[in-house]
């Protein structure tokens, strides 16, 4: 087990941890806007760490260049899509959750 | 090692799928589908590494593009009730 394997394993575990945290946040949080907070950022960081681990494991080849392209695209596109969802929900008149009204949805 | 990470991500997919089925508004469902698409890209890349087939990276890249375009198109349809 070389030093590159150790770095790959640490990055893979960190990435899967962040993706799992994003998924649990989608269940646990009370409102659409707070769920968007969980899904927009933690998921992007998780996929970035996992692709970084795969790039380090692979080395400098054409495959790792393709993975770098996927990584950069998702890193830009996923927050953009989340922003678009938030804008559509705000224009659609979705109410923001507050602690006073105890509606647990 | 890759299969273990893929199993963890699939557990996350089932958590998000619960929200996609239950979700009170349609925006919850759109966000859930976007997250499942991102996780599917990662799982496709991991499966390509597990079986030693590098052409899976092209499929993952295409899936990422289609996921983004699909989310934007669906939101435009919700906002304006038409797609042209």
Give the separation between CA B25 and CA A94, rounded to whole angstroms.
9
Nearest to B27 among A15, A66, A94 (CB): A94
Preferred mutation among A21, A26, A34, A37 to probe B, highest tally of B CBs within 10 A: A26
Preferred mutation among A8, A11, A88 to probe B, highest tally of B CBs within 10 A: A88
Give the separation between CA A72 and CA A104, rounded to whole angstroms.
37
pLDDT digits (tens, 9 = 90+) for A59-78: 888 888 988 998 999 899 98
The share of chain B scoring above pLDDT 70, in percent, equals 99
CB-based contacts of B1: which residues, under 8 Å, 6+ apart?
A: A9, A12
Nearest to B25 among A44, A51, A94 (CB): A94
Q: What is the ipTM of this complex?
A: 0.85
pTM score: 0.87
pLDDT digits (tens, 9 = 90+) for B16-27: 898 889 878 888
Q: What is the pLDDT of residue A88?
A: 86
CB-based contacts of A48: which residues, under 8 Å, 6+ apart?
A: A15, A71, A74, A75
Give the separation between CA A47 and CA A52, rounded to whole angstroms.
8
pLDDT digits (tens, 9 = 90+) for A12-59: 899 989 989 988 988 888 888 888 888 888 888 988 999 999 888 888
Q: What is the pLDDT of residue A103?
A: 55
Q: Average pLDDT in the B27-37 region?
A: 89
- Helices assigned H by DSSP within A1-105: 3-28, 32-58, 62-91
């Amino acid at each position: 087990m070389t030093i590159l394997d150790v770095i790959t394993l640490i990055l893979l575990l960190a990435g899967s941890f962040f993706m799992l945290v994003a998924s649990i946040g989608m269940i646990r949080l009370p409102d659409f806007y707070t769920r968007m907070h969980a899904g927009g950022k933690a998921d992007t960081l998780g996929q970035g760490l996992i692709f970084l681990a795969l790039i380090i494991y692979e080395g400098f080849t054409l495959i790792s260049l393709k993975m770098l392209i996927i990584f950069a695209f998702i890193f830009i596109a996923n927050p953009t899509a989340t922003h678009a969802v938030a804008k559509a929900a705000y224009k659609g008149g979705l109410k923001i959750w507050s602690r006073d009204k105890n509606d647990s949805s | 090692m890759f299969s273990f990470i893929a199993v963890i991500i699939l557990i996350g997919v089932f958590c998000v799928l619960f929200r996609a089925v239950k979700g009170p508004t349609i925006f919850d469902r759109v966000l859930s589908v976007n997250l499942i698409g991102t996780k599917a890209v990662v799982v496709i890349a991991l499966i390509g590494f597990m079986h030693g087939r590098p052409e899976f990276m092209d499929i993952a890249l295409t899936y990422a593009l289609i996921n983004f375009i699909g989310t934007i198109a669906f939101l435009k349809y919700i906002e304006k009730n038409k797609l042209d």
